[in-house]
Chain A
Amino acid sequence: MAEKKHLDIKGEVCPYTFVKTKLALEGLSSGDVLEVVTDHKQAVTNVTRSCEAEGHDILSKEQLNENDWKLTIRKK
């Protein structure tokens, strides 16, 4: 059964947005889903690109409010 985990990295900037996302993904099993909330706009592009480069799927990118975005990532 695939798990869903939530990671709040508001306040973090690049490259720590990806570093923390990557560490969280390492703690999951293949097929598990990670929801990442960030208030660092560039992270939406950068974390997406870095996760895809490591083979994970970006299931969605969603703007939650004026400051926050949510990335939903499925671990490869």
Chain B
Amino acid sequence: MADFTEEQIRRYSRHIILPELGGKGQKKISDAKVLCVGVGGLGSPNALYLSAAGVGTLGLIDMDRVDVSNLQRQIIHSTPDQEKLKVQSAKEKINALNPDVEVVTYTEKLSSKNVKEIVAKYDLVVDGCDNFATRYLVNDACFFAKKPNVYGSVFRFEGRATVFDPRSEASPCYRCLHPYPPPPGEVPTCHEAGVIGVLPGVIGVIQATEALKLIVGIGRLLVGRLLLYDALDMTFREVKVPKDPGCPLCSKHPKIKGLIDYEQFCSGV
């Protein structure tokens, strides 16, 4: 019998029963190391569900502290957590939910100086950040390190999710979709735009689902497909995202050969 404790057999029984998972799939989840970039709206459901699923090591990176304005959507944090570091608040919830999960917290700002070393420690990255500088940095770092990057974003009533898997030749990267960030000031910031609180729940859970599928190696991933969710219409649409032969990063003749620190500005897209 696989080396599960009696408690783990009970905790993960609904996974083990699934023909697609079994004890072997659950073992893969227990051995997995996932980095959550951002422990906000998207990071909350990601961290909670990946922890509940028994992901062995969960890295959390966020330099912010919990603010009352976060609580409308960032469900891993609670009212008494205000002023706490988000990674600390999240770590406490995860430890209470599932002591099997080893939580590693990072409070430094993600930059070209540290991203390579951090990403190297994980099997895959779930991007739940809220700004272009981090999003491009995570995309580029994952591309160079050949680590899957599960992308999600939210804006007003609309969410998007896809998977960039640089281990596959055919997979696009974020720069195939948006080659360069827009100039600062051209896009509305989070607090100008607003977001319906349930939206990051939907998109974050889609990201967590894709992360688990990547870990176990089952199903059809969102690679090359951008899922668009409209909460007002309650519709999902899917757009094909082919690899761009002229992509500045992942094409045969890349213009970008190293990590770039863009000016930090906030946006949901």
Contacts and interface: CB of A to CB of B under 8 A. Distances in A.
B16 interface: yes
A66 interface: no
A40 interface: no
A24 interface: yes
A18 B9 CA distance: 11
Given A16-B9, A20-B9, A26 B17 contact: no
The size bracket of the interface on B is: 10 to 19
A19 B17 contact: yes
Nearest to A54: B19
Contacts, number: 35
A22 B23 contact: yes
B253 interface: no
**Chain A at the B interface: SS class:** helix
Interface residues of A, number: 13
A15 B17 contact: yes
Interface of B: 1-2, 4, 9-10, 13-14, 16-17, 19, 22-24
Interface of A: 15-16, 18-20, 22-24, 26-27, 50, 53-54
